[in-house]
Structure 1
Amino acid sequence: MIQEKYTKRYQNLKVAEALSNNHLYPFACNELSSIINLGYSQLPKDLKAFIFRDCLSAFRLLPEMNTSAAVSAANLLVKSVESAFPKQKKNLAIVEFKQAKVALKRRTKSHDEHIGMFFYLSFCKSPL
């Protein structure tokens, strides 16, 4: 009964939906981080599974977010995961986070190269 109550309350937060929204992503990551820090070890197993799933989703969605606030929130979330999750889940989450950071870096690097290339082309245009 109590497990269902906690699970229902967590689902009412709609963290999964907030993670997919570019503007709400940092808030959702901070919320997850707070939940993990404040008592992950005392939560029921089914709720831990929801939280773990949402953490993985947060890390997978990170490359699609284009704000520094999203990156900061994801960094905070990974620190919470490192401190509270059991070893196997922690390792899975960290691998997912590192892959997301690499994808994000590649995406921003590619974007910077395109901007540089177009700047060069517009600069080299000479009036005839």
Structure 2
Amino acid sequence: MERKGRILIIDDNEDVLFALNALLQNYVEKIKVSTHPEKIEKYLKEYQPDVILLDMNFRLDVISGKEGFLWLERILKVDPQSIVVFMTAYADTNKAVQAIKAGATDFIAKPWEKEKLLATNANQ
């Protein structure tokens, strides 16, 4: 199987980044991981990812998802065509609908199902 594409993964949990990197490395040409969402704009310009896996919750308010929506808005300002897949351990239907309405391409609950994660990224 040919590996193709670039994925940028932004999450505050290094264990999540390690696990996603290990899972996706056989399917994707390049993977960049970071715990620093404030560097997203730099990564967009320098790395030019095909897909961005973005955690919804960082440090401000652990479960609301507000930070993720802020970063999604910034990503779409830089590149309105960005493919952003939200991830959260605090998934519910409301957040998923909000995410899609705000411009996210998809929504994945943590812990993720391997097949769903691979299919989501393969379809982008």
TM-score by length of 2: 0.35
Q: Which has the larger radius of gyration?
A: 1
**Greater helix fraction, Structure 1 or Structure 2:** 1
For CA contacts below 8 A with separation 6 or more, give which structure has more relative contact order. Answer: 1
**Greater strand fraction, Structure 1 or Structure 2:** 2
